[in-house]
């Protein structure tokens, strides 16, 4: 590859911009059909899904995730996580998060994390049980203090940004303060913003050259990619 690709660490889309490489996060339907298409896939049980499904149905989804992990079809486990906007399912969310994180540790796969108002939950988990695998906080919305604490407890934490660079002044302030070795970029579920735009805006916000940002993010991706064996 003579030109470095735009790495998109977390995408729910199935068509990507030119010269982009994405880690595709499976929908529930794709997970049920065990339909992995792209070169890089992640699968997990999104905390929002717990609203609408029974424990038995969720257990079924867990077996599909397990199968994919065993068949070596996944680059990462997730997204999984804790979302305090949905307190009714909080206990179950936390229980499932532990299941995902153990799976990611057992198989040496990165973990893609959905975190909404649950920074202190993750800090508590890290204090009790330090993981071995990289943790990627997708669409990270926390502050510098949380970043510092997370990295102190687990230096293999990564923070990914997308639409937030546009719509959050707090994130525009945070981004230039982060070590570039811990940064990723993503389209997530955005339909109208492509990964090229996100890189341009991130490079501008951090105050670095676009190609430098691309190569740094690509190196981060290579560094945490599970070893093929």
Q: CA-CA distances (angstroms) from residue 4 to 122, 136, 217?
A: 33, 21, 10
Contact 133/123 with Cβ under 8 angstroms? no
Residue 186 binding Zn ion, by CB under 5 A: no
Residue 188 binding Zn ion, by CB under 5 A: yes
Bridge partners, residue 22, by sequence? 8
Residue 149 binding Zn ion, by CB under 5 A: no
CA atoms of 197 and 181, how far apart (whole Å): 21
Measured from the CB of residue 78, what is the shortest distance to Zn ion in angstroms? 9
Residue 36 vs 149, nearer CB to Zn ion: 36
Residue 13 vs 101, nearer CB to Zn ion: 13
Contact 162/186 with Cβ under 8 angstroms? yes
Residue 8 vs 188, nearer CB to Zn ion: 188
Measured from the CB of residue 186, what is the shortest distance to Zn ion in angstroms? 8
Token digits for 34? 């065990």
Measured from the CB of residue 27, what is the shortest distance to Zn ion in angstroms? 10
Measured from the CB of residue 229, what is the shortest distance to Zn ion in angstroms? 28
């Amino acid at each position: 590859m003579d030109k470095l690709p735009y790495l998109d660490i977390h995408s729910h889309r199935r068509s990507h911009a030119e010269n982009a490489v994405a880690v595709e996060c499976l929908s529930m339907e794709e997970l049920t059909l065990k339909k992995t298409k792209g070169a890089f896939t992640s699968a997990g049980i999104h905390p929002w899904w717990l609203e609408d499904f029974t424990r038995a149905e969720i257990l079924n989804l867990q077996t599909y995730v397990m199968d994919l992990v065993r068949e070596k079809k996944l680059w990462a486990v997730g997204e999984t996580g804790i979302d305090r906007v949905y307190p009714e399912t909080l206990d179950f969310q936390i229980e499932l998060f532990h299941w995902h994180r153990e799976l990611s540790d057992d198989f040496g796969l990165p973990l893609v994390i959905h975190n909404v108002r649950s920074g202190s939950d993750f800090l508590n988990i890290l204090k009790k049980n330090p993981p071995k695998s990289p943790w990627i906080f997708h669409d990270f919305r926390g502050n510098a203090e949380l970043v510092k604490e997370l990295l102190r407890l687990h230096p293999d934490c990564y923070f990914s940004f997308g639409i937030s660079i546009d719509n959050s002044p707090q994130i525009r302030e945070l981004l230039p303060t982060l070590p570039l070795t811990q940064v990723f970029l993503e389209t997530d579920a955005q339909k109208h913003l492509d990964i090229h735009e996100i890189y341009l805006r991130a490079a501008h916000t951090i105050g670095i050259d676009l190609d430098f940002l691309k190569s740094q993010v690509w190196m981060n991706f290579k560094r945490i990619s599970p070893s093929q064996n």
